[in-house]
Amino acid sequence: MNTFLKSIMITALVMLCCPSWAQTGTLKGVVTDAKTGEPLVMAFITVPSTTVGTSTDFDGNYLLTLPVGKHQIKFSCVGYNDSTVTVTITEGKQTVLNHAASTEIIRLEAVTVAGAKYSQKLSESYSSVEIMRVNIISRNNVSTSRRKRRNKAPKPIPNTANYQHIEENGFKDPTKTPLSTLSIDVDKASYTNVRKKLNQGTLPEPDAVRVEEMINYFAYNYPQPADGQPFSISMEAGECPWNTDHQLVLVGIQGKQIELDTAAASNLVFLIDVSGSMSASDKLDLVVEGLRMLVENLRPQDYVTIVTYAGAEGLALPPTPGTRKDEIYDVLDNLQAGGSTAGGAGIMLAYKMAREHFMTKGNNRVILATDGDFNVGMSSDGALQRLIEKERESGVFLSVIGVGEANLMDCRMNMLAEKGNGVYYFLDSEAEAHKIFVRDMRSTLFTIAKDVKIQVEFNPALVKGYRLIGYETRLLNDEDFNNDKKDAGEIGAGHSVTALYEIIPASSSESVDGVDDLKYQKRVATDASASGEWFTIKFRYKEPKGIKSKLITQAFQPAEVADARSENFRFACAVVGFGLLLRDSAYKGNMDFEMVASWAEQSLGEDPFGYREEFVELVEIADELWKERVETETKK
């Protein structure tokens, strides 16, 4: 019997055995909060008594294929009432069913929640949405009984983590060093790594604390760009809270949002470390859980390839469309850790697959998940860097998901993401996996501007000294600003980037360390120095596929916004202060952890996922740990 006849017979048998599925239609809609109208992420849409179901993406959208006829459709989401609706599916037609979910009111006496703010108000009622927010904090291992939790923590294992040494930026004299030039940074790994260490009862190493990554972990309320620009620029100044003789200037960049439905397709290659060092429960298992979340939101036009490495590289899954999620899940769920780490060979195969299936008008990205312990094959940082710099020119970018703690090769993974035009995240919990792979993934995948550089020229008539806070590993030479061949940072859709400068006013009697006066030349003030401008800031960027940069220039005159002290400004001050204290910085002034916690509590604002509330908890943990350290050292 020939193949054609066999296929006809098989199709006929399927239709006879499964008549209800021979004819289908689709059901789509949006799930929102009935009170606020906001879309709900990870709401579940199921057909009771069957295995059919899906969940909403980060815009609240869902899509199901169903057999013709009447069906009971169940909507459920943590913190909301379940609801069941009857719908009729017509062959070949698309039925729209939107759902507004209402919150369930729960008495706090009947539940156990984490967080002193809620447990002290047992006489009040809260919606389960608020309880869900507290439970997010709980899943990140933050609770009011912090000391008890730390005493029960497992014994620490030998720490061989590797961090790049950070020499903090000092104050510069604008008469000698008028320019400050840097590449923007949207990495967030440092904050998550610091959080994990604190929750385990350990203060982080100073070099593990990169202040700019802690600031940029949080979202800020900057305006969306206008006039066709890919990002907006916000600036404001206020008194420096840890040194009231100084001023603080905040520079905020906000990338434009994009509509996911109209966004370009994605060619994603998951490069997963399955070596023996990934066997711990906080490594491979957590990576798989996060990637499953990403796959859940794939569209039909998106494709996934899975490459693994452990001793030798391997192709675990060829390019597979988002419509075949079960196949992708099966490969992810069957991954097992064991063997040494041929990381270099794995990266080469991942790039090869990305290039072979390159989407000219799409997003092409390798997502590497590892603890960074490359110990077999092309292991030198120089060789890896040259490979990644070459591959990014093809339009394939690299993002890195770091996991683990004891042997975390943070320095290497930070370099890989920087050279690969990507973002470096650290994964420490399922809640963080949802943040990275669901809420933040739009920004990670869709680059709106690349090679973004900042150059600030300070006016010595008004600024006696300035200090860039953080970004030590992102500093550029002044001449790099106009060099389009010099790589710099990327901004994804919806990304925000924040930088802060501490300013010594020209009227201050404070001295600024610097070089001696020049013998053969003297800087002459220009008419612009009397303009009232503190500085002029310039931005260079390229479009995602561009090769020539564009320039934006904007002067800052603080009289326009002086002491505005917005919620953005105040919370950013708290995060900076926290980082300076954890580093035991020479520039921390008169700060202590209680002051930082107070600043943060006064600027929580809208905090739907509890990240800022959690930050306050972490400051309190750090305060306890620091006091314990001082007490121990005093006894010695």
Instruction: Report the range out of 35-44, 151-160, 475-484 with the highest average pLDDT.
Output: 475-484
Task: Pinpoint the residues of the chain covered by CATH 2.60.40.1230.
Answer: 179-258+448-510+531-635
Q: What is the CATH number of domain 17-101?
A: 2.60.40.1120
Query: pLDDT class for 190, splitting at 50, 70, 90?
Result: very high
Q: Using CA atoms, how far apart are residues 336 and 347, in angstroms rounded to an integer?
A: 19
* pLDDT tens column, 560-611: 544 557 999 999 999 999 999 999 999 999 999 999 999 999 999 888 889 9
| pLDDT for position 340 | 62
More confident residue, 390 or 456: 456
CB atoms within 10 A of CB 281: 7
Predicted confidence (pLDDT) at residue 348 exceeds the cutoff of 90: no
Predicted confidence (pLDDT) at residue 151 exceeds the cutoff of 70: no
| pLDDT for position 339 | 64
* pLDDT tens column, 376-396: 444 456 777 888 888 888 889
Contact (Cβ atoms closer than 8 angstroms) between residue 572 and residue 208: no
| pLDDT for position 449 | 93
CATH 2.60.40.1230 fits 179-258+448-510+531-635, yes or no: yes
| pLDDT for position 266 | 94
Contact (Cβ atoms closer than 8 angstroms) between residue 348 and residue 388: no
The mean pLDDT of the chain is 82
CATH fold of 260-445 reads: Rossmann fold (3.40.50)
Instruction: Report the range out of 23-37, 300-314, 479-493 with the highest average pLDDT.
Output: 479-493
* pLDDT tens column, 232-276: 999 999 999 999 999 999 999 999 998 877 789 999 999 999 888
Task: Pinpoint the residues of the chain covered by CATH 2.60.40.1120.
Answer: 17-101
Contact (Cβ atoms closer than 8 angstroms) between residue 600 and residue 571: yes
Task: Pinpoint the residues of the chain covered by CATH 3.40.50.410.
Answer: 260-445
Query: pLDDT class for 117, splitting at 50, 70, 90?
Result: very low
| pLDDT for position 415 | 87
Buried/exposed 226-242: b ≥16 CB within 10 Å, e otherwise:
eeebbbbbbbbbbebbb
Share of the chain above pLDDT 90, in %: 52
Question: What mean pLDDT do residues 182-190 have?
Answer: 93
Predicted confidence (pLDDT) at residue 144 exceeds the cutoff of 50: no
* pLDDT tens column, 504-527: 999 999 988 777 777 787 767 777
Predicted confidence (pLDDT) at residue 18 exceeds the cutoff of 80: no
The closest of 456, 485, 453, 451 to 468, measured between CA atoms, is: 456
Is the model's pTM score more than 0.85? Answer: no
* pLDDT tens column, 122-141: 333 334 333 333 333 333 33
Instruction: Give 77: exposed, middle or buried? Use CB within 10 Å, 0-12, 13-18, 19+.
Output: buried
Predicted confidence (pLDDT) at residue 453 exceeds the cutoff of 60: yes
Q: Detail the DSSP E strand segments found in 60-174.
A: 61-67, 69-76, 83-89, 94-96, 99-101, 105-107, 125-127
Contact (Cβ atoms closer than 8 angstroms) between residue 30 and residue 61: yes
| pLDDT for position 119 | 34
Query: pLDDT class for 156, splitting at 50, 70, 90?
Result: very low
Predicted confidence (pLDDT) at residue 199 exceeds the cutoff of 80: yes
Query: pLDDT class for 616, splitting at 50, 70, 90?
Result: very high
